[in-house]
Amino acid sequence: MSECIFCKIVEKKITATILYEDELMIAFRDINPVAPDHILFIPKKHIESFGHFTEKEETLIGKFSVRIAKFAKEKGFDKKGYRIVTNIGAEAGQTVFHLHYHLLAGRNFEWPPG
Ligand code: 5GP
Ligand code: ZN
């Protein structure tokens, strides 16, 4: 059985505040938000990180990206701006090794990031 915490959220073995779900992906609120809106988007398929994409995932990546953009527009995040972040590897800050995009919105963000 998978020990991956995000696979467990997909399987509903761990509860999360799910905001969107379809056959490919789910979106849920981060348990430790760093912005007024902090939402995680994950594919249901276990892929370790952005760095593990192969040609096999080209369709998934396209649909995943378009659906995140649509979600952000429907929620109105595009009006003021929002940030999409994905950490790849421990030095970049990845702590859960199931691909996820953070959507951060609701405050000003600095550049460069910390
Ligand atoms: P990373 O550090 O890998 O880029 O991001 C992992 C994120 O997952 C963190 O922001 C962390 O707060 C969030 N997280 C970790 N465990 C859980 C959980 O069980 N439920 C939810 N909703 N978020 C989690
Ligand atoms: Zn997983």
Residues tagged active-site: 100
Helix (H, G, I), strand (E, B) or coil at 9: helix
Is the Cβ atom of 96 under 6 angstroms away from ligand 1?
A: yes
What are the tens digits of pLDDT across the range 65-114?
A: 999 999 999 999 999 999 999 999 999 999 999 999 999 999 999 999 98
Any alpha helices (H) in the chain, and if so which ranges? 5-10, 58-74, 77-80
In this prediction, residue 29 carries a pLDDT of: 98
**Predicted local distance difference test score (pLDDT) of residue 2:** 79
Q: State the pLDDT at residue 1.
A: 55
Residue 91 sits at the vertex; the CA angle it makes with 25 and 69, to the nearest 5 degrees, is 30
Sheet hosting strand 37-43, strand order edge to edge: 18-21, 25-29, 37-43, 101-105, 82-85
Give 47-74 as a DSSP string: ---GGG--GGGHHHHHHHHHHHHHHHHH
Stretch 22-50: mean pLDDT, rounded? Answer: 98
Percentage of the chain surpassing pLDDT 90? 97
Q: How far apart are CA 20 and CA 112, in angstroms?
A: 30
For residue 16, the ligand 1 atom closest to its alpha carbon is 22
Q: Is 64 in the pocket of ligand 1 (CB under 6 A)?
A: no
pTM over 0.95: yes
Looking at residue 113, what is its pLDDT? 92
The mean pLDDT value of the chain amounts to 97
Burial of 80: CB neighbours in 10 Å, binned 0-12, 13-18, 19+? exposed
